[in-house]
Amino acid sequence: MIRDNHQGTKIFASREDCTTNATPEEVGTTDQEGNFDVTLSVEYHCLQAVHAGYLSEKQNLRNSDELSTSATTNELGTITLLSGDVTGDGQIDIFDMAKMAGHYGESDQILDLNISMAMVR
């Protein structure tokens, strides 16, 4: 089953390039289709998408010269978050599998990666 509700992914922005460990500011949340709108000044250089149970992703904003300064909207493209990081340590490994196996048959929202809320028995 493929996840079809993309609501609730938090969007963070930082003034530093994505290669740095700058502390980002939360600037928005995705809607059911995964879309979001934020208003940022040209000082911001990096967007990060974060959702519990998924690997977060960062995307550098294009050079401000490439973004339209006259338009009110700029399309940033699509970011796909990989599911499976249920421990929240930034990687998917045996520890995530062990945690999911330990909760097999339960209805934990973070461990139910496809949001089916189906009870597996």
User: Where along the sequence are the contacts to Ca ion (CB under 5 A)?
Assistant: 85, 87, 89, 96
- Please, which residue, 96 or 112, has the CB nearer to Ca ion? 96
Q: Which is nearer to Ca ion, 30 or 87 (CB)?
A: 87
Per-residue tokens: 20: 């740095």
**Cβ-proximal residue to Ca ion, closest one:** 87
Report the nearest approach of Ca ion to the CB of residue 95 (Å). 6
Name the token pair of 94. Answer: 């045996």
- State the nearest-atom distance from the C-beta of 82 to Ca ion, in Å: 11
| DSSP symbol at 13 | E
C-alpha–C-alpha distance, residues 63 and 60, integer Å: 9
**Nearer to Ca ion (CB atom), residue 55 or residue 61:** 55
CA distances from 46 to 14, 54, 73 (A): 5, 19, 17
